[in-house]
Amino acid sequence: MDLSALEKEILEADLSTEEGRTAFQKRFLQKGGVLESLLAELRTLPPEARKARGQALNALREKARQRWEAAKQAYSTPLSTTPKPQDPTFPALRIQPGGRHPLSLIEGRIIRFFQRLGYTLATGPEIEDDWHNFSALNFEPDHPARDMQDTFFLDPAAGLLLRTHTSTVQVRVMERQKPPIRILAPGRVYRNETVSARAHVYFHQIEGLYVDEGVQTSDLKATLTSFVENFFGPGTPMRWRASYFPFTEMSAEVDIACLICHGAGCAVCKHTGWVEVLGCGMVDPAVFEACGIDPHRYTGFAFGLGVERLAQLLYTIPDLRLFGQNDLRFLQSFQGYGYAL
Ligand SMILES: [Zn+2]
């Protein structure tokens, strides 16, 4: 067989298509191909002709292999690694910035305000015992909050439960630290409630406690009035209502004029024109005694803020469940909100 014709074929074969390359591979590189059968025929040649013919065939096989490798490189490169010319008129990719959860935004604002007044952060466990959640806070043995209807008991025999308020942290701090005490305790609390738009099995509170010699009701009023004006705006109409908590004596709740209807009455304020924003009071001397603090020497006040409640009021969020559902459409509506807003 004329090897020069074969060489021409090897050098000129069209390898730009998949079919061309497959055919080339079959004919020149695989068993049963033309080069393989010519090499096999060498044995039939006289020894003097065998060497030159063998070298020529091997040279051809090497050329075929090189063309095949080059074609594979040139045509089989994956598309993704092929650099494409840039199109400067193409719209830019939209960058999705992250955002803080609305509850973190509110919590951050509250913490920053009280930190400026010298309050420091304190934390406590979410699994509590009866002493820290109830007894030390002056809850009577038959108080309804101790009922299974209201509280998640983990181990009734051991008295373990999920804390129902962050007031537990007050007790823990007062047990190990003597006045002056000025703390802020943010955290998650649990109630045995049916989940609805207005109630949930968990929510977030921020507890504040200030204990020192000579702390008076006027300090409480000044501190919380200043907070409400900072949070909702200067001149926000507010009112103080007498209330009851087991762990404070003189207990009060603070309402502000409804942000939706500005006092005219709407569904959010149940047509009263007012919405409750916090509970507070002067620490009951019985609580000081339970925590080993001399009630004759020290006085103090405590307050509790509901983070979800403040977020609902400030951002007009109708359903409490939205905070825990991780629905991106809800969370993305707070994108770009910083702590300053
Ligand atoms: Zn209203």
The CATH number of the domain holding residue 213 is 3.30.930.10
Q: What DSSP element (H or E) covers 227?
A: helix 217-232
**CA 258 to ligand 1 centroid distance, Å:** 4
Average pLDDT in the 52-76 region? Answer: 87
Q: How many CB atoms lie within 10 A of CB 152?
A: 16
Neighbours of ion ligand 1 (CB under 5 A): 258, 260-261, 266, 268-269
**CA 236 to ligand 1 centroid distance, Å:** 14
Helix, strand and coil in the chain, % to nearest 5: 40, 20, 40
Whether residues 266 and 323 fall in one domain: yes
Whether residues 116 and 173 fall in one domain: yes
The DSSP letter of residue 9 is H
Whether residues 48 and 107 fall in one domain: no
- Judge whether 89 lies within some domain: no
Whether residues 182 and 322 fall in one domain: yes
Whether residues 77 and 127 fall in one domain: no
Angle at which helices 217-232 and 102-116 cross, to 10°: 140
- Judge whether 19 lies within some domain: yes
Q: How far apart, in Å, are the Cα atoms of 42 and each of 34, 39, 65? A: 13, 5, 20
Q: Which of 63-72, 160-169, 300-309 has the lowest mean pLDDT?
A: 63-72
- Judge whether 96 lies within some domain: no
Whether residues 108 and 65 fall in one domain: no
Residues 311-320: tens digit of each pLDDT: 988 888 888 8
For strands 238-245 and 248-257, give the pairing. antiparallel
- Judge whether 93 lies within some domain: no
Whether residues 70 and 121 fall in one domain: no
**CA 13 to ligand 1 centroid distance, Å:** 85
Average pLDDT in the 285-314 region? Answer: 93
Find out whether 126 and 114 touch, Cβ atoms under 8 Å: no
Whether residues 307 and 241 fall in one domain: yes
**CA 273 to ligand 1 centroid distance, Å:** 5
The DSSP letter of residue 259 is T
Is the pLDDT assigned to residue 86 strictly greater than 70? yes
Whether residues 130 and 257 fall in one domain: yes
pLDDT at 304: 95
The counts of H helices and E strands in the chain are 11, 10
- Judge whether 97 lies within some domain: no
Domain that holds residue 52: 3-81
- Going 156 to 158 to 162 to 163, the CA torsion angle's sign is positive
pLDDT at 118: 95
Q: Structural domain tally of the chain?
A: 2
CA angle 215, 140, 172 (to 5 degrees): 50
Mean pLDDT score across all residues of the chain: 88
Q: Please say which residue of 81, 113, 129 terminates a domain.
A: 81
Rounded-to-integer distance, Cα 40 and Cα 277, Å: 96
- Judge whether 86 lies within some domain: no
Rounded-to-integer distance, Cα 111 and Cα 94, Å: 34
Rounded-to-integer distance, Cα 279 and Cα 322, Å: 24
The pTM of this model reads 0.70
